[in-house]
Structure formats: C-alpha cells, structure tokens
Amino acid sequence: MITTLKSFQYFHPNTVEEAVQILNKYGDRAKVLAGGTDLIPSMKRQKIAPQYVVYINDISQLKHIDFGAEEGLRIGALVSHHSIASSSIIREKFQLLAKACNKVGTPHVRRMGTIGGNICMAGPSQDTIPALLVLEAQMKVVSLQGERIIPVDEFFTGPFQTAITGEEIVTEIQIPCPPSDSVADYQWVTKRTVVDETLVGVAALLGMDLDRGVCKGARIALGSVGPKPFRAREAEEIIKGEKLESKLIEAVAQAAAEETKPRSRADYRRREVGLLVKSTLEHLWSQLR
C-alpha cells in the first residue's frame, strides 16, 4: 500500500564534509536522499522508515562531469541521468553510458534521479550498472574516516545491497577511457509495465586488433538475470583473439545465457540473453569491419 511519508528528522548539508559528519553520527538509522525517485517510493511503500533523512542534492561539489585523455571521465554522484545522456563528451566517448542513462525510468525520473542514487539502490535490473561494468568504472566513496575506491564489480554485493556502509556516501564515478579501436553498445528488452522495467539488459564492449582483423577482447555484462548485474566472463573468453563469425557469436551467446541465474521467467530470460548478446555483437562487429 502506498501511504504518506512517516515523520523523520531532516538534515540538508551543503558540503560532503557536513554530510559524512551527520552519517557518522546516525549510521544505518539515516538514509541519504538525492533525487528521491527510488528512496521516496520505498518510504511510501513502507519498505523503509528512516529516522533521519539527509538531503544531499544541494551539494554543489558533486555535480561535475570532467574528462581528460589521461584520467578519463569523472562524474559527480549527483549528476542526473538526463545530464549524462545529454552530455556531449559522454555521447561522443562513452555513448554506451549515455544510451543506458536514457533508458532509465521516464523523462521526469531521468531529470530528477541521480547516477549515484541509482547505483546505491543496486537493483538487479538497473540499466546503468551493465554499462558501468563493461566500462570498468570505479566508485569513490567518502566517510569521516577518509576515502576509498571500490571497483564496480566489487560494489554490488547482492540484490539492493552494496559494499558501502551507512557512514559512507558515493561521491564520484570514475571511468577510464575505453581501449583504442573499441566499440560498445547496450541493448535491452523490457517488461510491459508502466515504467517498462528492464527484463534483460546486455552491455558489450569489443576491442579490435585492426592489423590482424580479429577481436582483441570483449567485455559483456548482463543485467536483470541474476541477483546483481555481472560480467559474463566465460563468454568473454571465447572471443579473445578470434574473428567474430556467426558460429562463434552463437557460441558466445549460448555461453552468456548459461552464466545467468534468473529468479523468475528463467527460460524466457535466458533465451532473451542469447538473442540480445547475438544482436549486440553482430551490431558491434559490423561497426568494426
């Protein structure tokens, strides 16, 4: 049942330092509020009832999109999906991430919701995560004790669970430049519901050895077909050093499907993984040849 919100004590820090001081005091009794597109529905559905709400969306330190050829991309945790999807540098060099962010929710949700918030909700079907997995992103996490960097494939520990503690906040997503001569894409199928939640999402990145005309390596990440989005490592191994001919693509698609652990509609989801991996790889290979 959806209700009005229960009372809580409200904090609105203007800096990261203030925010982590508050979180250090209240820990798991506090919830961090950014865009509100996930937290507020969870509170209205009475899944959570935090005693303290820490509204961080006014922290201007966390709204940057910076790019350098050496350091790669740095996205502040409070950048909205809309801002990522419409950023010219991200559309040019990290098109996969722009496409994934443009799949999230509805236009209103994309404008309000933030990448940091999306990551911290850690839903198995969240579209940004497969893209961040193949881009080998890292999360910068800050607490009163200092900062640490968590690679994306260690960040998610289970459905709606992450490696960060109640005292920490994610401040930045760091994404290295993709390998040269590589192409990447994100494809999905959705449930037919009001928000068209992703039923299967496939992100893939192919690196090309142009001299030998073969695929140097591949990164394939699958969303919504297991407790958390993950890299299909066995499928990736099959591609290394090979020409992507249709027989090989079939084998990769099948290997990827076998790596999944869908909780519901397993047969359908698995078949859909095979089809989507195939179409994504064919699309990317056609771009490289």
What are the residues binding other proteins (CB under 8 A)? 2, 4-10, 12, 33, 36-37, 40-41, 44-45, 53, 55, 57-58, 105-109, 111-112, 194-195
**Closer residue to other proteins, CB minimum distance, 69 or 194:** 194
* CB-CB contact of 72 with 174 (8 Å): yes
Contact 145, 164 (CB under 8 A): no
Min dist CB 192 to other proteins, Å, is 14
Distance CA 178, CA 110 (A): 25
> Which residues have C-beta within 8 Å of that of residue 70, sequence separation ≥ 6?
none
* Pick 105 or 130: Cβ nearer other proteins: 105
Give 10 or 268: the residue with its C-beta nearer to other proteins.
Answer: 10
Nearer to other proteins, 40 or 251 (CB): 40
CB of 161 to other proteins, least distance (A): 22
* Angle, CA of 171, 222 and 256, to the nearest 5°: 150
Nearer to other proteins, 83 or 260 (CB): 83
- Residue 19: CB minimum distance to other proteins, A: 15
Strand order, beta sheet including 72-76: 65-68, 72-76, 169-175, 138-143, 146-151
Using the minimum distance from each CB to other proteins, give the nearer residue, 38 or 236: 38
Least CB distance to other proteins at residue 235 (A): 33
Q: Residue holding tokens 């990448």?
A: 115
CA 101/CA 105 separation, integer angstroms: 9
Cα within 13 Å of Cα(8), Cβ side: 23
